């Protein structure tokens, strides 16, 4: 195993690995995989018939399409601002910055999430609940965080995702998301990670299952009170989506131990980022 010094868990190194199968998917063209360095670290409804139902379905579809278009615009503006700054066109970068700020103030989901966060910080929980319910009506999946944390049989899996503007091309419906995973063995038995399984769902609710051996070419052994971290990435053809899955593991301190699955709780892939605090 190659060892490097990793940045804090909520930050990302340059992403060099992606899912290895399938090579081409409904979520975008996947490049050939490249091995990524890692390290092991120690630590102490019912529906109505007739025209009414049809009208409601059309309204829902139009709302979803409108939200998709706004997300696409937001992602494109952020990328243009970054490119303007890199090319030292600071006047254009400033113009785009101001446009983004105005967009964030007018975009319903971003505005409501900001209001909800402010209400929580000021302990106005009734207001926070109202904003949350309004978000549910507009875009329920946007309440899903860009992070997750789940424990199965003493094995804790923490995930954090970020949108990578530099590797995305919104005009071509190509959105690139990186995610970082920390697996911590809080049990008193050593385990080995054998296989991975991901369920990747885009904004159109189109899902794909991805299976693989180990992670980033490794089948790491994680001792008690130790953690294993790695970074990977996922391309989508929509500005948002979600991931969830599980790792197949086994205890290696006893011959013939049966394998078991460790859950990876759902987390969002979003160009809008996360209105909540990091892990």
User: Taking the alpha carbons of 201, 27, 139, 122 in that order, is the dihedral positive or negative?
Assistant: positive
Domain layout of the chain by residue ranges: 24-44+144-270, 51-143
Q: What is the pLDDT of residue 53?
A: 42
Beta-bridge partner residues of 249:
193, 260
DSSP letter assigned to residue 278: P
* Residue keyed to tokens 């995702």: 161
Name the residue among 244, 219, 279, 245 with its Cα closest to residue 38.
219
- Per-residue pLDDT tens for 178-209? 999 999 999 999 999 999 999 999 988 899 99
Q: What is the pLDDT of residue 108?
A: 79
Quote the CA–CA distance of 189 and 153 in Å, as a whole number: 10
One DSSP character per residue, 2-71 reads: ---PPPPTTS---------S-SEETTEEPPPP-----EEEE-------SHHHHHHHHHHHHHHHHHHHHH
Q: What DSSP element (H or E) covers 151?
A: strand 147-152
Query: pTM here?
Result: 0.62
Quote the CA–CA distance of 18 and 36 in Å, as a whole number: 9
Q: What is the pLDDT of residue 78?
A: 76
Quote the CA–CA distance of 210 and 49 in Å, as a whole number: 37
Cβ atoms of residues 241 and 210 within 8 Å: no
Quote the CA–CA distance of 263 and 246 in Å, as a whole number: 4
Q: What is the pLDDT of residue 73?
A: 75
Name the residue among 116, 117, 103 with its Cα closest to residue 72.
103
Q: What is the pLDDT of residue 72?
A: 67
Choose the CATH number for 24-44+144-270 among 3.40.30.10, 2.60.40.1470, 3.40.190.10, 3.40.50.300.
2.60.40.1470
Cβ atoms of residues 260 and 250 within 8 Å: yes
Q: Which stretches in the chain have pLDDT values below 50?
A: 1-62, 275-279
Neighbouring C-alpha atoms within 13 Å toward the C-beta of 230:
22
Q: What is the pLDDT of residue 67?
A: 62
């Amino acid at each position: 195993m190659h060892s490097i010094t990793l940045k804090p868990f909520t930050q990302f190194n340059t992403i060099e690995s992606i899912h290895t199968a399938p090579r081409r998917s409904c979520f975008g063209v996947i490049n050939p995989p490249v091995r990524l360095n890692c390290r092991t670290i120690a630590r102490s409804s019912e529906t109505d018939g007739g025209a009414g139902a049809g009208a409601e379905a059309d309204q829902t579809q139009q709302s979803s399409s409108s939200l998709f278009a706004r997300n696409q615009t937001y992602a494109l503006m952020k990328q243009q601002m970054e490119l303007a700054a890199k090319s030292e066109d600071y006047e254009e970068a400033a113009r785009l910055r101001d446009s983004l700020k105005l967009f964030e103030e007018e975009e319903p989901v971003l505005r409501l999430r900001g209001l909800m966060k402010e209400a929580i910080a000021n302990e106005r929980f009734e207001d926070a609940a109202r904003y949350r319910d309004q978000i549910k009506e507009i875009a329920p999946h946007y309440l899903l965080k860009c992070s997750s944390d789940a424990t199965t049989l003493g094995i804790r899996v923490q995930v954090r995702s970020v949108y990578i503007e530099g590797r995305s091309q919104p005009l071509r419906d190509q959105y690139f998301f990186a995610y970082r995973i920390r697996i911590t063995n809080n049990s008193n038995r050593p385990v080995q990670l054998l296989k991975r399984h991901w369920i990747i769902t885009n904004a159109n609710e189109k899902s794909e299952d991805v299976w693989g051996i180990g992670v980033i070419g490794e089948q790491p052994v994680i001792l008690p009170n130790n953690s294993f971290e790695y970074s990977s990435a996922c391309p989508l053809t929509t500005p948002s989506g979600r991931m969830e899955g599980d790792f197949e593991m086994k205890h290696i301190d006893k011959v013939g131990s049966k394998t078991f699955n460790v859950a990876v709780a759902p987390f969002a892939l979003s160009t809008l980022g996360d209105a909540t605090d990091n892990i």
